[in-house]
Amino acid sequence: MTQARAETRIQRKNKELILEAALEVFSTYGFRGSTLDQIAAQAGLSKPNLLYYFPSKEAVHKELLDGLLDTWLDPLRAIDPEGDPTQEILGYMQRKLEMSRAYPRESRLFANEILQGAPRILDALKGELKDLVDAKSQVIKSWADRGLIADVHPQHLLFSIWSLTQHYADFEVQVEAVLGDEGPFDHAQEFLDHLYTRLLKR
């Protein structure tokens, strides 16, 4: 059996260039509005060179999404069932807000995929994502049942955190237009900390 040859340094570099360029293009134009020509131009490579690494636009997009979904779930995985309930939920919200600050393009890439009906990650949403949300929802429900936090609907609590934190990335232009000279994140955490502290208080 022939073993696959390890990638050379140049091959790794070119693949990273392509994925970085694809992230910029897909997050700006969405999957349907993006082309391999745009990605190749953004990467500073020829289209045939790009096709050496990825056989199609779908293949580039899938590799980006596969890596993104795992990263996107890490903040939720970090909720500790043994921790202080309010602090664990606030910590999760803060991690999600920081991801919007640090990875706005990745957030928009994910949002664009969802808006199109999630054709390339629907199985993961119904599988890995749902399984993790179900598990953490049980943790939140157990906290509420024990009187440690208010009786909130766990899944809708998580949906609200996703919406309120990712808004800063997905609607960045709108946020900046409204706030003007004020930085988009200058008072976001303070506001959301107050909001969720009040919501969770019994």
Query: pLDDT tier at 132 (50, 70, 90 boundaries)?
Result: very high
Give the tens place of pLDDT for each residue, 84-107.
999 999 999 999 999 999 999 999
Percent of the residues in the chain that have a pLDDT greater than 70, as a whole number: 98
**What are the structural domains, with CATH classification, of the chain?**
1-55 (1.10.10.60), 61-200 (1.10.357.10)
Residue 151 CB-density burial (10 A; 0-12 exposed, 13-18 middle, 19+ buried): exposed
pTM of the model as a whole: 0.88
pLDDT over 80 (residue 74): yes
Query: pLDDT tier at 195 (50, 70, 90 boundaries)?
Result: very high
CA distances from 45 to 23, 26, 37, 40, 179 (A): 15, 17, 9, 5, 38
Query: pLDDT tier at 136 (50, 70, 90 boundaries)?
Result: very high
Tell me the angle at which helices 154-170 and 85-102 cross, rounded to the nearest 10 degrees.
20
Query: pLDDT tier at 193 (50, 70, 90 boundaries)?
Result: very high
Q: How far apart are the C-alpha atoms of 157 and 93, rounded to whole Å?
A: 10
Query: Coil, helix or strand for 151?
Result: coil
Using alpha carbons, select from 147, 152, 136, 166 the residue that is nearest to residue 196: 152
Percent of the residues in the chain that have a pLDDT greater than 90, as a whole number: 85
DSSP-assigned letter for residue 129: I
Give the tens place of pLDDT for each residue, 3-45.
456 778 889 999 999 999 999 999 999 899 999 999 999 999 9
